[in-house]
Structure 1
Amino acid sequence: MNAAQLAFFRQRLLNERAELAAHLREVKTSIASHERDSDEADQASFEEELRLALRQADRESRLITNIDAALKRIESGDYGYCEETGEPIGLQRLLFRPTAKLSIEAKERQERKEHHFRKARGE
């Protein structure tokens, strides 16, 4: 991958990280500013919205961690290479998922293996 491509992905990751961090701040502010409703239906509705917001925030927090790892791989020169095979991941896959650590083939193998283990355990 050339320097311009690495700069493109670095900026894309930084932008996505900033957007996620801003959204997480909004969620925290929203939670902190909520006053308890005396109406049970309103409180139940808020609690359901809160549960969904916290689930989304958890996913976004994990994505920030993955973005940070991808940025470190850019800095170390490992970005764009499969952690399993060492082969290039491919620009199309990175455009779709810039945090990818595995090539499509390696990811498919991993998913087949996970599916096999789940099936063997009876899940």
Structure 2
Amino acid sequence: MDKRQTEVRTLKKGGYVIVDDEPCVIMNITSSKPGKHGAAKARMDVIGIFDGQKRSIVQPVTAKIYVPIVERKTAQVLSVTKDTVQLMDMETYETFELPLKDEYKEKIEQGKEVMYLESLGKRKLDIQ
């Protein structure tokens, strides 16, 4: 189960939501008052966790919306090449490769443990 359903009114800044089949983090959320002919609306500004794209959506606060299950996991660095890093999950011992961004190259070292995010079948390094 990669996602669960919840009402828009329960979402908070810093939480997660699925927009265009992409897990996103909520950067800003504002609610309007109910109007003469309708329910209160919530406007959310979100950024995709994996693609970094900014998106905005407007939904009634009573609408149901999907929230991704985002897991923060630990992996050991097996090898580092020019633009990829090979990792092994510390719980399942599964090995996989992820693209390596330039800003992470100094922080990744063979044999060390790193954090990564996993949601909806996608993975990303989570290095501060």
TM-score w.r.t. the length of structure 2 is 0.28
Which structure has greater helix proportion? 1
TM-score w.r.t. the length of structure 1 is 0.29
Which structure has greater strand proportion? 2
Q: Based on CA coordinates, which of the two structures has the bigger radius of gyration?
A: 1
